[in-house]
Structure 1
């Protein structure tokens, strides 16, 4: 491996390591200021998870990974899609209704529900994309407003479509038939040791994201538009069409965020369906630098911290909210550390160029013809 590649690899590794060390130090200072036992907190968080906890970590990471990919599609286009939370809510509700009705047999019903979820997520995100492309409305504002609208609409229609269970206050749609559920992957004999079968589909989505952006003309146009809209227009790229397309793709992936839970454990959409998944995806996309492998690492890290925070209050007497502080600190330090490392790399390149310009050129060896003529 050449010296230049070693330097790039070292810079790439040093940024996340610097961020993690800084986040560890800042969180420790917060614990000290609060009078909490720093050693016990970290020993609990960094302990090896049990098999059941491991399954929970991977399952949670699967959901967070899809959320991160959905946000990353917009980021590559320089679009800030904060509306993943609303998009996956609408998509999960529609998928639950479609799957619960069982209009098709077996897994054909599953495919139909997943397609409906992707279509619903794409259409909900497409509203923000259309407003941005045609009226110049910031997607940040429109997606935030659409999140609130989505929450209200889903709550309203849930009351209409819910099947009420006697003696329960929980509202939920019809249960998905057993033949339409996605089988889980067992990693042990005990209860709670199953991985979502949707994990395989999530891996396919990550590969498709990488292939689309790095191996297709559309992906090149999308990245070029995100880096410089003016240059994209000059090269003949239709920026408005790319904006709408990016938001549609982002929304379609966002429509998959709730599918692992819906087809792997909940089997219906109700008032207790997991929330807040879209906002976590923003942090994970930033942490993973919009790279599918980096997003996977970020999703696993966040899922690990979430799972390990559960026994903090019981075993150590510390609020599990300290993990939220750690996660937020990691995101901030990652952004700062990548910028610091980037500037350091630019300085090294400038110094290398300066040395190359000041060094005298190597002496040209004389040829045999020149020696004879001399």
Structure 2
């Protein structure tokens, strides 16, 4: 009974808190919460919004899983933004420069993307393990450095297309076909990669010794070391894995639609991934719902101008939802802790009374 209450109460409270806070924000801005929600939901059924939501959610899911792996170890990988953009750039350059059979070509591009993300994150991992440098500081610096590296790579290996500078186009042998819905758009083929990563993360987290060591080290590095876990190795491998998954986030668009990396490549996925991982409590299923919700808010907000609501209000709503989840889980955690302390106190009192 207590187990189910502990599982169901936090998300229920989070829904109530977020509904109340979001309604208050909308009312404060002069908007009707019911009309705003109805307009956003109605947008999903128009044009290619539903397909756009799914495609963007796939990228959000990958960066959120990358963040979740770090969170399991109490590591804050702020560098996901730089990792996925640099990985997409390098993968696009390699994909446009090589010629391989269909299928193998795309596999090589995916491997290059994952390897680039892992190597870029590995710099911060090595600095933390061998020099004690905070991963927060190093990954923020690497984010800034990646901007310059990307600009250099695009300038060196790119070509001008109209007013946009981009890498050479990936030939058809390296492209990944998607599922077309006619005028509604095409779901990227690499959406399935996000599903595979989610399944792999779930198995790694809950069914392997490595996943147990990952969570144990995050909960108590001292206890983990006492149990024979190499904490330095765990930090290094966790950050490499986080970077590798982050490096995949830009590939669905590269291989499924754009077939090139341009200076206008989407930004902001990395920072959204951190919030989505918090929203999903680092659980693969929770993160999936968080990614879909975040993508829904992003894409459906484009219609808010039609009812006189600034679309920027969605940024406030996203932050409010994350805040609600954090507060709800913390309240339940404290309540459960207090209840456990009372149970222990009663047990000790009973034991003392029996001895007397």
**Aligned equivalent of 2:177, options 173, 183, 198:** 183
Contact 1:83 1:147 in 2 (8 A): yes
Change (3 A) 1:48 1:344: farther
The answer to whether the aligner puts 1:200 opposite 2:192 as a matched pair is yes
**Which position in structure 2 is the counterpart of 1:14?**
9
CA RMSD of aligned residues (A): 1.9
**Which position in structure 1 is the counterpart of 2:99?**
103
Cα distance in structure 1, aligned partners of 2:269 and 2:316: 17
**Which position in structure 2 is the counterpart of 1:92?**
88
**Which position in structure 2 is the counterpart of 1:319?**
310
Matches within 5 A, 1:313-352: 313=305, 315-350=306-341
Contact 1:24 1:326 in 2 (8 A): no
Change (3 A) 1:306 1:59: same
SS in 2 for 1:142: helix
TM-score by length of 1: 0.89
SS in 2 for 1:172: strand
- TM-superposed CA distance for 1:345, in Å, is 2.6
- TM-superposed CA distance for 1:43, in Å, is 2.2
**Which position in structure 2 is the counterpart of 1:156?**
152
- Rg larger for: 1
**Which position in structure 2 is the counterpart of 1:364?**
none
**Which position in structure 1 is the counterpart of 2:354?**
none
**Which position in structure 2 is the counterpart of 1:300?**
292
**Structure 2 residue runs without a partner (length 5+):** 352-356
Moved more, 15-24 or 114-123: 15-24
Matches within 5 A, 1:245-260: 245-260=237-252
Cα distance in structure 1, aligned partners of 2:42 and 2:337: 39
SS in 2 for 1:133: helix
Contact 1:199 1:260 in 2 (8 A): yes
SS in 2 for 1:82: coil
**Aligned equivalent of 2:263, options 231, 252, 271:** 271
Cα distance in structure 2, aligned partners of 1:36 and 1:221: 48
**Which position in structure 2 is the counterpart of 1:172?**
166
**Aligned equivalent of 2:113, options 94, 114, 117:** 117
**Which position in structure 2 is the counterpart of 1:25?**
20
The answer to whether the aligner puts 1:288 opposite 2:280 as a matched pair is yes
- TM-superposed CA distance for 1:48, in Å, is 6.5
- TM-superposed CA distance for 1:149, in Å, is 0.3
SS in 1 for 2:44: coil
**Structure 1 residue runs without a partner (length 5+):** 361-374
Contact 1:97 1:174 in 2 (8 A): yes
The answer to whether the aligner puts 1:221 opposite 2:213 as a matched pair is yes
Cα distance in structure 2, aligned partners of 1:138 and 1:121: 19
SS in 2 for 1:310: helix
